[in-house]
């Protein structure tokens, strides 16, 4: 008799709860859409999702040191990227139609 492989995708608790509410485990497009809904349609900041999922609710700390290091590294990279982006005003386009 052939053995069936476990095809269940193992996810952190937060994503597992969202995926469980969808009915189809592992469909990340639906998970992403579900996460976008409470965010007023704005793109999800996946770094914030990772922080929330891996943070111990009692101690408010990330206990897994590897995950903590990865999140700290990504946060540093994100801040550096945002700092390097030019600040643009939508009103300062330079083009004027008034003459």
pLDDT at residue 9, as a whole number: 46
Domain ranges across the chain: 13-44, 45-83
Query: What is d(CA 92, CA 86) in angstroms, rounded to the nearest whole number?
Result: 13
SS3 56: coil
Please state the pTM of the whole predicted model: 0.50
pLDDT, one tens digit per residue, over 49-75 is 888 888 888 999 998 999 999 999 999
Q: Would the pLDDT of 35 be above 60? A: yes
The residue length of the chain stands at: 99
pLDDT at residue 56, as a whole number: 87
Q: Would the pLDDT of 11 be above 70? A: no
If you search the block for the tokens 């995708």, which residue do you land on? 9
């Amino acid at each position: 008799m052939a053995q069936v492989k476990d095809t269940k995708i193992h996810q952190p608790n937060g994503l597992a709860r969202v995926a469980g509410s969808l009915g189809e485990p592992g469909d990340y497009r639906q998970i992403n859409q579900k996460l976008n809904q409470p965010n007023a349609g704005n793109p999800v900041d996946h770094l914030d999702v990772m922080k929330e999922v891996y943070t111990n609710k009692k101690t408010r700390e990330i206990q897994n040191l590897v995950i903590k290091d990865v999140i700290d590294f990504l946060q540093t990279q994100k801040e550096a990227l945002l700092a390097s982006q030019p600040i643009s005003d939508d009103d300062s386009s330079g083009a004027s139609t008034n003459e």
